[in-house]
Each structure stands twice: as C-alpha cells, then as structure tokens.
Amino acid sequence: MDIKSLDQALLEIIEVKNKLSELDYSDESYDTLEEELHDLEDDFVENFGPYMEEALHLVHDEFCPDNDVLLPIAYLAHKYVKKGEKEDGSPIFTVAADEGVIVEVDDYPDKVSRLVVLPNPTRIVLTTDKSNAEEVWRAK
C-alpha cells in the first residue's frame, strides 16, 4: 500500500469537506464543490477502500464486534480542525469529539463511542464520552 498516496487522497477530501462546511447551501459554488467531494470520495473508495475496510474490520473485531463495518468514507469527519504542522509543513488535524461513526464498544458499555479516520498519518481513532481519544489503528 502506498501510504503517502492514501494520506494525500485523504487530505484532498478533507480540504474540500472543510471548504464545504464554511459555505451556505445557497452559495453558487456549493454544488460544484459537493460534486468534487463525491468524486474524490469515489476515487478514495476505489483506490483505498479494500485496505481501509480491512483495517476497519480489525478495529471493529477488537472494539465493537456487534457493529457493522461501513464504507471507509462514513468514518470521515464533517469538519477537520488544523492544529499545527509537522516539520515538513504538512498539516496536523484533529476533530471534534462528536465526529465519526457511533459504535457500541464492549469495554465502554455506558459511554457514547465513535470511530473516526484522521490523516497524516492515516489512522483510526476511538473517542469515548467526548473526553478520551485513543488511536486504535495506523496505516503501515
């Protein structure tokens, strides 16, 4: 797996998602940007879907076996927040605790838990109760 290409594709999706989150539906560029997002997501699923689905199956099997694995793009946040840059200038992102797919985690039966995909490096993070975030998988 070409991890750099995976990460770049994810970063391109995030850039468009973030632009869309700042626009109103009535904005002239909204539909064009939304179409671009769907094309990027389709390409992502086509090129990296099997790899990401395998990772998601591993995570689900370990943490939330009672939940179905969805398409990888379902685990993307609606909006990513840039929190800095790496030494090479590439962005570091975080997401709000209410982003991602809600899952039932066996170890946290009474807590709202979510899985979300983050870039740079591509990884899957499990959040519980809006206060704890744990990286549960990283692309290799």
pLDDT at 80: 95
pLDDT at 124: 98
Q: Is 97 helix (H, G, I), strand (E, B) or coil?
A: coil
pLDDT at 1: 85
pLDDT at 88: 87
- pLDDT of residue 130 exceeding 80, the answer is no
pLDDT at 89: 86
How many domains, the chain?
1
Taking every pair of Cα atoms in the chain, the longest distance, rounded to a whole number of angstroms, is 46
Q: pLDDT tens across 20-37, in order?
A: 999 998 988 999 999 999
Vertex 124: Cα angle to 123 and 127 (nearest 5) = 135
pTM above 0.85, yes or no: yes
pLDDT at 131: 78
Q: pLDDT tens across 41-94, in order?
A: 999 999 999 999 999 999 999 999 999 999 999 999 999 999 999 898 889 999
pLDDT at 70: 97
Residue numbers of the domain that contains 31: 3-138
Q: Please report, to the nearest 10 degrees, the dihedral formed by the alpha carbons of residues 72, 44, 42, 17 taken in order.
A: 80
Q: Where are the alpha helices (DSSP H) in 22-139?
A: 30-63
pLDDT at 115: 97
**Residue keyed to tokens 């039966």:** 109
What's the pLDDT band for 129 if we cut at 50, 70, 90?
confident
Q: pLDDT tens across 99-128, in order?
A: 999 999 989 888 999 999 999 999 999 999
